[in-house]
Amino acid sequence: MRLMMMKLAFALLFSVLMCGCNAAKQSASTPTPTPVPTPTPATATVAVGTFPDAVAVNSVTNQIYVANSQSSSVTVIDGATNNTTTVAAGTTPLAVAVNSVTNQIYVSNSNLNGSSSSGSVTVIDGATNGTTTVAAGTDPGGVAVNPNTNQIYVANTCINSSNTATACNVTVIDGATNNTTTVAAGTDPGAVAVNPNTNQIYVVNNDSNNVTVLTP
């Protein structure tokens, strides 16, 4: 009986040793994967105008539009070469939006000059960089495009000469004719966004703490 127990113990010890050796061999034969380095994005610097405030891209033409608020201009960057062209805008351009369907670019000029005078929108023809000026409301800021309807929405902040916000409006531009209509909004509307699928327009009113939803 004792002899049998010793044989069983020896067999068990031998089995454990063999498992350990096989595991060690397997571990030694498994190569450690080489970590793949994360690529560092290439960078380039493109000179633009003074105090660039907003940028928009036409992904169809690979042209980039930068609104330079303190030089009253728009820098057009060729995405293929990073070469630039300067297009004159109105006073203090603050926002820019692109209609990639019509290749028209809309730049809101707030006309910040310490008064409550009305601003404008510079419409740039992306094919020629020629411009047209469309009248907007007081101190226009945010601008958005619905490419499905070819309507452009400009939020007029209506900051007066004492830097006080009042209830204001949104200028709606018909992209086919550049004719405009005005829709009431809340106090100090700043940004505007469009859902082209539902044709709903959302305008944030900074001082009245709400959002105006436009349903044309």
Q: What is the pLDDT of residues 50-80, one digit of tens each?
A: 999 999 999 999 999 999 999 999 999 999 9
Q: Mean pLDDT over residues 76-95, rounded?
A: 96
Of 90-94, 155-159, 212-216, the range with the lowest mean pLDDT is 155-159
Q: Which two tokens stand for residue 143?
A: 């601008």
How do strand 131-138 and strand 118-125 relate by DSSP bridges? antiparallel
Domain assignment of residue 93, given as a range? 52-214
83 found inside a domain: yes
pLDDT surpasses 90 at 30: no
| 136: pLDDT strictly greater than 70 | yes
Dist. CA 183–CA 168, nearest whole Å? 9
For residues 112-116, average pLDDT: 55
- In this prediction, residue 38 carries a pLDDT of 79
Q: How many domains does the chain have?
A: 1
Q: Is residue 18 part of a domain?
A: no
Tell me the C-alpha distance between 22 and 171, whole Å.
78
* pLDDT of 143: 98
When the pLDDT of each residue in the chain is averaged and rounded to a whole number, the result is 86
Residues 6+ apart with CB under 8 A from 26: none
Give the pLDDT confidence score for residue 17 in this predicted structure.
47
Q: Is residue 180 part of a domain?
A: yes
Q: Within a domain: residue 35?
A: no
pLDDT of amino acid 114: 45
In whole angstroms, give the CA distance from residue 53 to residue 195: 24
CATH number of the domain to which 208 belongs: 2.130.10.10
Q: What is the pairing mode between strands 104-109 and 131-138?
A: unpaired
Average pLDDT score over residue span 7-33: 53
Identify whether 98 is part of a domain: yes
Note the pLDDT of residue 21: 47
Calpha distance 189→116 (Å, rounded): 15
Lowest mean pLDDT among 29-38, 72-81, 126-135, 191-200: 29-38
The residue-averaged pLDDT of 193-216 equals 94
| Residue 25, domain member (yes or no) | no
Answer whether residue 9 is part of any domain: no
Query: Strand runs (DSSP E) across the chain, as ranges?
Result: 52-58, 63-68, 73-78, 84-88, 93-99, 104-109, 118-125, 131-138, 140-146, 151-156, 167-174, 180-187, 189-195, 200-205, 210-214
Full-model pTM:
0.80
Q: Is 142 contained in some domain?
A: yes
Q: Is 49 helix (H, G, I), strand (E, B) or coil?
A: coil
- Burial (CB < 10 A; 0-12, 13-18, 19+), residue 176, is exposed
Q: Residues 67, 95: contact at Cβ < 8 Å?
A: yes
